[in-house]
């Protein structure tokens, strides 16, 4: 990576490091090549103000700092240092801007002494836990015991046990609002020189993981139904151990070692899932942000951040997949994407893996969960997994199934009424000959291997029984199923809709007594009418096509 960066070195007076003189502030990009050397006297501040006022230091040579390195971070930007050579500093500091008076989810790349290492940089003095700031930890065992997820699993720890904020552990941290207004800065200082050395070390870094299970011999135990147990057990929350962005790439050029889906938050706070399947999917972990993973029972487990994942920009992409790399997988893999037609960037994707060894039933060692199935702004799709008779359902992001015929229920969240598109992508396909999306409401089928399915004028819904995906399976019915261009009718919430009409078509709607309850001439391709009673209605179009509709 041979690039010439510009850099600006300024003197920064008002936020010096606790009265130790005037520090040097880096704003912009600094590149130190393999033969280069940079030294500083006094603390070095790596600023993070905007995308044009963000320090990004890339060292391939020697970077010696005789005092502290201060990494700035706020809601959107971070001061970054990516070390590929030799970097030393006396200590390291994360200066967090608490832009809002809310709980911030954070993980530090070094241990922080709670009593002496959390400092008000204006005064240069420590602030006091449970007086000036508050800390919560994620109680993975409580989640396993109760099946509850969400904010209640973040708990205040026993004061006697939280003397150190441990590196790599996920925390919630908030400031006392009466003492620190929104926009206050707080410094978190590395506890030991050894942690600083590890921060700059150019090696893979490992986070040990723990298996938490629903144990009747431990406090808070609650007997859970099977789906709750599977979703509740084994969760770990942790962060990276570096001072740069980390590209999460599970593909051919792996940047981390872990065998299941990784859950993380984007810059706008939205939960995202990153599968380990070879589908070219990547994500970006900001420094001091957290990951969620779910371990499985049996044996010691860990998550390894490989050093080839370090990045200075979120725009640096992964190595592109080539067909020869995809062909190395013995599984067939497809992705199903749900897209908002008005804003195609607003989308959701799930994955299916087919192989001879997989089960039709849900298995945690094969499948991965979809964490979120509700949103007021974004469409979401998920695969509905089950065990046995299907009474217990699992919302899945990755569904592994046996090769051959499969009938897969799909859950959907359409946050607002509008037009949506389902599209299928084949990553590896040696056995899938048909993939048909079927709409249970409109009785319409769509051949996804041929073209995307455009679903127009959908209402806002969140259901797990509206659509079914048929793989290698012939759909049978007493009546021929309509195609995407045939006239069809359906009723939902007492509204009758007739679609795929032509301008000028005359539509009449009868109840079972033969009484006309609605009629009209079509202006575009859709006719709608309000139905006052439940029951069966007869729809007649142009005196030629007749349809039966049930208003439930």
**The pLDDT of residue 17:** 57
**Is the distance from CB of 30 to CB of 7 less than 8 angstroms?**
yes
Which of the two residues, 173 and 224, has the higher pLDDT score? 173
pLDDT above 60 (res 445)? yes
Which of the two residues, 377 and 383, has the higher pLDDT score? 383
Name, of 294-308, 410-424, 487-501, the range with top average pLDDT.
Answer: 410-424
**The pLDDT of residue 3:** 42
State the pLDDT confidence band at 325, using cuts at 50, 70 and 90. very low
Taking residues 427-450, report their average pLDDT.
90
Q: Are residues 468 and 492 in the same domain?
A: no
**The pLDDT of residue 474:** 61
**Is the distance from CB of 249 to CB of 264 less than 8 angstroms?**
no
**The pLDDT of residue 214:** 92
pLDDT by residue (tens digit) across 265-285?
766 667 789 999 989 889 999
Q: Are residues 340 and 430 in the same domain?
A: yes
Q: Are residues 397 and 359 in the same domain?
A: yes
Q: Are residues 407 and 509 in the same domain?
A: no
Taking residues 375-379, report their average pLDDT.
90
Which of the two residues, 334 and 325, has the higher pLDDT score? 334
**The pLDDT of residue 14:** 37
pLDDT above 60 (res 323)? no
Q: Are residues 463 and 521 in the same domain?
A: no
Taking residues 443-462, report their average pLDDT.
86
State the pLDDT confidence band at 319, using cuts at 50, 70 and 90. very low
Would residue 360 count as lying in a domain?
yes
Q: Are residues 476 and 509 in the same domain?
A: no
Would residue 65 count as lying in a domain?
no
In this structure, of 287-296, 310-319, 377-386, the range with the lowest mean pLDDT score is 310-319
- Record the tokens describing residue 424, joined without a space: 């299928």
**Is the distance from CB of 98 to CB of 76 less than 8 angstroms?**
no
State the pLDDT confidence band at 484, using cuts at 50, 70 and 90. low
Beta strands in 459-515 (DSSP E): 461-471, 488-492, 495-499, 506-510
Average pLDDT of the chain to the nearest whole number: 86
- Please give the DSSP secondary-structure letter assigned to residue 54: B
Residue percentage of the chain with pLDDT more than 90: 55
pLDDT by residue (tens digit) across 225-263?
877 888 999 999 999 999 999 999 998 889 999 999 999
**The pLDDT of residue 482:** 52
State the pLDDT confidence band at 116, using cuts at 50, 70 and 90. very high
Domain of 347 in residue numbering reads as 329-482
Would residue 388 count as lying in a domain?
yes
Residue of 246, 261, 254, 248 whose CA lies nearest to 321:
254
pLDDT above 80 (res 317)? no
What is the domain count for the chain? Answer: 2
Q: Are residues 386 and 437 in the same domain?
A: yes
**The pLDDT of residue 356:** 92
Q: Other CB atoms closer than 10 Å to residue 357's CB: what's the count? A: 10
**The pLDDT of residue 177:** 95
pLDDT above 50 (res 408)? yes
Burial tier of 286 (Cβ tally within 10 Å: 0-12, 13-18, 19+): buried
Q: Are residues 475 and 369 in the same domain?
A: yes
pLDDT above 90 (res 475)? no
Burial tier of 255 (Cβ tally within 10 Å: 0-12, 13-18, 19+): buried
Phi-psi region of 418 (alpha: psi -120 to 50; beta: other; left: phi over 0): left
Would residue 8 count as lying in a domain?
no
Q: Are residues 432 and 377 in the same domain?
A: yes
Q: Are residues 411 and 377 in the same domain?
A: yes
Would residue 343 count as lying in a domain?
yes
Would residue 114 count as lying in a domain?
no
Q: Are residues 397 and 438 in the same domain?
A: yes
CATH (domain of 520): 2.60.40.3080
pTM of the model: 0.78
**The pLDDT of residue 86:** 95
Would residue 290 count as lying in a domain?
no
**The pLDDT of residue 11:** 38
pLDDT by residue (tens digit) across 126-147?
999 999 999 999 999 999 999 8
Point out the domain boundary residue: 425, 454, 482. Answer: 482
Would residue 342 count as lying in a domain?
yes
Point out the domain boundary residue: 426, 454, 482. Answer: 482
Q: Are residues 540 and 472 in the same domain?
A: no
Point out the domain boundary residue: 435, 454, 482. Answer: 482
pLDDT by residue (tens digit) across 4-63?
344 444 433 334 455 455 578 888 888 888 888 888 888 999 999 987 889 999 999 999
Taking residues 167-176, report their average pLDDT.
96
State the pLDDT confidence band at 459, using cuts at 50, 70 and 90. confident
């Amino acid at each position: 990576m041979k690039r010439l960066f510009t850099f600006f070195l300024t003197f920064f007076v008002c936020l010096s490091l606790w009265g130790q003189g005037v520090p040097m502030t880096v704003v912009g990009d600094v590149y130190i090549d393999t033969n280069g050397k940079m030294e500083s006297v006094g603390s070095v501040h790596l600023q993070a103000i905007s995308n044009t006022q963000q320090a990004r230091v890339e060292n391939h040579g020697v970077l010696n700092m005789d005092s502290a390195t201060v990494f700035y971070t706020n809601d959107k930007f971070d001061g970054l240092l990516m070390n590929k050579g030799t970097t030393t500093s006396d200590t390291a500091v994360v200066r967090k801007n608490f832009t809002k008076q809310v709980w911030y989810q954070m993980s530090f790349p070094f241990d922080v002494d709670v009593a002496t290492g959390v400092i008000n940089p204006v005064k240069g003095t420590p602030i006091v836990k449970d007086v000036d700031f508050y800390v919560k930890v994620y109680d993975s065992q409580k989640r396993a015991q109760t099946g509850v997820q969400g904010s209640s699993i973040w708990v205040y720890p026993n004061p006697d046990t939280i003397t150190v904020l441990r590196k790599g552990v996920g925390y919630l941290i908030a400031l006392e609002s009466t003492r620190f207004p929104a926009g206050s800065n707080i410094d978190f200082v590395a506890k030991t020189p050894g942690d600083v050395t590890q921060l700059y070390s150019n090696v893979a870094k490992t986070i040990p993981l723990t298996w938490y299970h629903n144990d009747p011999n431990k406090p808070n135990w609650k007997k859970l139904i099977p789906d709750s147990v599977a979703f509740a057990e084994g969760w770990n929350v942790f962060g990276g151990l570096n001072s740069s962005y980390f590209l999460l790439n599970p593909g051919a050029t792996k940047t981390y070692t872990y065998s299941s889906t990784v859950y993380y938050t984007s810059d706008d706070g939205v939960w995202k899932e990153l599968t380990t399947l070879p589908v070219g999917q990547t994500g970006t972990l900001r420094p001091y942000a957290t990951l969620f993973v779910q371990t499985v029972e049996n044996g010691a487990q860990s998550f390894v951040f490989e050093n080839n994942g370090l990045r200075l920009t979120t725009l640096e992409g992964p190595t592109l997949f080539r067909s020869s790399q995809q062909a190395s997988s013995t599984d067939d893999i497809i992705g199903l994407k749900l897209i908002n037609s008005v804003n195609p960037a607003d989308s959701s994707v799930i994955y299916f893996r087919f192989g001879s060894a997989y089960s039709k039933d849900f298995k945690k060692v094969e499948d991965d969960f979809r964490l979120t199935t509700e949103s007021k702004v974004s469409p979401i799709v998920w695969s509905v997994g089950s065990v046995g008779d299907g009474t217990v359902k699992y919302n899945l992001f990755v569904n592994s199934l046996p090769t051959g015929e499969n009938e897969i229920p799909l859950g959907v969240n359409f946050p607002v009424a509008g037009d949506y598109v389902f599209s299928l992508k084949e990553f590896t396909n040696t056995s899938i000959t048909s993939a048909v999306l079927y709409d249970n409401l409109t009785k319409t089928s769509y051949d996804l291997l041929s073209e995307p399915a455009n679903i127009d004028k959908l209402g806002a819904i969140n259901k797990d029984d509206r659509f079914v995906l048929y793989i290698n399976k012939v759909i049978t019915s007493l009546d021929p199923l309509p195609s995407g261009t045939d006239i069809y009718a359906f009723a939902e919430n007492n509204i009758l809709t007739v679609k795929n009409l032509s301008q000028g078509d005359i539509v009449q709607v009868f109840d079972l007594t033969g009484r006309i309850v609605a009629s009209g001439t079509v202006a575009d391709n859709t006719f709608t009418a309000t139905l006052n009673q439940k029951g069966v209605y007869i729809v007649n179009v142009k005196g030629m096509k007749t349809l039966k509709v049930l208003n439930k």
